[in-house]
Amino acid sequence: MDGYDNHTIAKPTYFKPNDVTAVFQGIVDTYGVPTYLEANPALVSTVTFPFLFGMMFGDMGHGSVLLAFALVLVFGNERLKDTLLAPVLRLRYLFLFMGICATYCGFIYNEWFAMQTNLFSSCYDMTKRTPLPAELDTDEKGQLKLAETKTFYYKRLSHECNYPMGADPVWGLA
């Protein structure tokens, strides 16, 4: 009986996924299955994967379309099992988390279907562009001349003003 403890067969790894974690476990398993007594990174990827997607795809409009599609899949799961959407149903929670994160990052980026939005009033006067002061330059004779500038800026209305959430819309004009 002593020989049974020193075998060279690797101990199996088994994770029991549920509906939420099954897709993320599949993503992790494509990179390699954790070995016996090793931490399972699927729990971390359940949070990080959708958020990194949201940072990449941050748009309120596109994210809300993805979120609405995911909500139809989540709440209509039983009715959609015998339809053409049945293969997509196992991805419903992945789509849900990605839609939430994309919509949230869209609020941070102030984008609605790739267009800059102005949800709150800007801290800058966006009605007129002010040219930067001309810089001093010398010509070939050493005479001072004013160099023409093609750089403009938007005047800040108040130094105490802070945009409440996300990026000020004036940065979309930069």
Residue 146: pLDDT above 60?
Answer: no
Residue 130: pLDDT above 70?
Answer: yes
pLDDT of 135:
59
| pLDDT bucket at 119, cuts 50 / 70 / 90 | confident
31 Cβ partners below 8 Å, 6+ apart?
A: none
Q: Check residue 156 and report its DSSP letter.
A: B
Q: Please state the domain extents for the chain.
A: 2-116, 118-174
Residue 147: pLDDT above 80?
Answer: no
| pLDDT bucket at 165, cuts 50 / 70 / 90 | confident
Give the pLDDT mean for 109-127.
87
Token pair in block for residue 75: 């709440």
For the whole model, what pTM was predicted? Answer: 0.77
Q: Give dist(CA 83, CA 112) in Å, integer.
A: 32
pLDDT of 13:
84
